[in-house]
Amino acid sequence: MVKPKLPKIDIRYEEIEEAAHVADTYGEIINEVVDEIVVRACGQLDEAMADIQDVVSQNPVDVSDLNYFIGYLPTLLYFAADRAEMVGIQMDSSSAIRKEKYDNLYVLAAGKTIPDKQAETRKLVMNEEVIESAYKRAYKKVQSKLEQADKVLASLKRIQTWQLAEMETQSNNSRGVLNVKRNRRQND
């Protein structure tokens, strides 16, 4: 059985490097826009997460700090969720704007064939496409932060429960309650 010969691929490293540079440049632009949107939507939540990280890294964790964040975090999540929906609306709007501009420019495109007209029109709506992509990424990022913050809240509640149980055990030990219970079991 004869194996077919694969065509030789002509790799031009300069073109690859140039394409990578262009992709990096566009990526940086989109990242800047995404970061700006996410900070507006989740800035307070991010600050609270940094504070929570400081609190939970302490040993032992201060119960009053836990109580504060367990009470405060749902409020932050409430307002951040509202801002997330605003980002979703902006995402939908940017998509509609891009599509409308594309349609309007497609009619005016000078190409003779459909692919020519599409190519010309895509070039003219590149900025709108970048903004649409940025809002899509920002929306995903905000949603992810909300999900993670919800997990942090659940973790804080578990730490609080553990801390309270530990405090109760220590209190019972200091009063000799556990020793009395053990002595009763041994005598029974």
pLDDT tens sequence across 38-50: 999 999 999 999 9
Most confident of 11-25, 55-69, 80-94, 101-115: 80-94
Contact 112, 185 (CB under 8 A): no
Q: Which residues contact 55 (CB under 8 A, 6 or more apart)?
A: 61, 62, 65, 66, 69
Give the pLDDT band (50/70/90) at residue 85. Answer: very high
Helix (H, G, I), strand (E, B) or coil at 5: coil
Higher pLDDT, 37 or 173: 37
Higher pLDDT, 171 or 151: 151
Q: What percent of the chain has pLDDT over 70?
A: 93
